[in-house]
Amino acid sequence: MSSIYSDRKRVEISGYIAQTPVCHEKGENYSAFTTISLACNEHRKEDDKWTQAVEYFTVYFNNGLAKIASSLKQGDRILVDGKLRNRHWTDKEGQKHTVIEVVAHRDGLQIFSKTKSETDEDSTENVIEQSA
């Protein structure tokens, strides 16, 4: 039986791929992975007017999902189920940095719509694919 606290860093996030996914080949100390920048729109009311804000999140896909994520294109709409990860580093000037990222679960990717590429006239819109 799992505790209510075991999933406290779980996150579900949807949005549009903001840039072409970046594939990182398998290295000596790590498996291949793909990173994407996910743009998420938020609509909110400010002073009786609706505004839209866009926030960007880095999402990591490992193992089998890395290959699937690498085939995605800018503008594709996806849903990611994953966990939050804090990453810390110090730059060359000695400044400490922290970033919060999303690491996709093994079966945590759904593709809602694919953008049409110039070579793919038969691309489908509003197709839902769930990774295996």
Summarised one tens digit per residue, pLDDT across range 68-108 is: 999 999 999 999 999 999 989 999 999 999 989 999 998 88
The fold for domain 7-130 equals OB fold (Dihydrolipoamide Acetyltransferase, E2P) (2.40.50)
Domain ranges (residues) in the chain? 7-130
Q: pLDDT digits over 17-54, tens only?
A: 999 999 988 766 668 899 999 999 988 888 889 998 99
Q: Assign 120 to helix, strand or coil.
A: coil
Helical segments of 1-132, H only: 63-70
Please give the pLDDT value at position 5. Answer: 56
Against a cut of 0.75, is the pTM above it?
no
Nearest CA among 99, 65, 72 for reference residue 84:
99
Amino acid residing at 60: Y
Please give the pLDDT value at position 124. Answer: 36
**Sign of the CA dihedral running 82, 62, 69, 88:** positive
Half-sphere exposure at residue 124, Cβ-oriented, CA atoms within 13 angstroms: 6
CB neighbour list of residue 90: distance below 8 Å, 6 or more residues apart: 96, 97
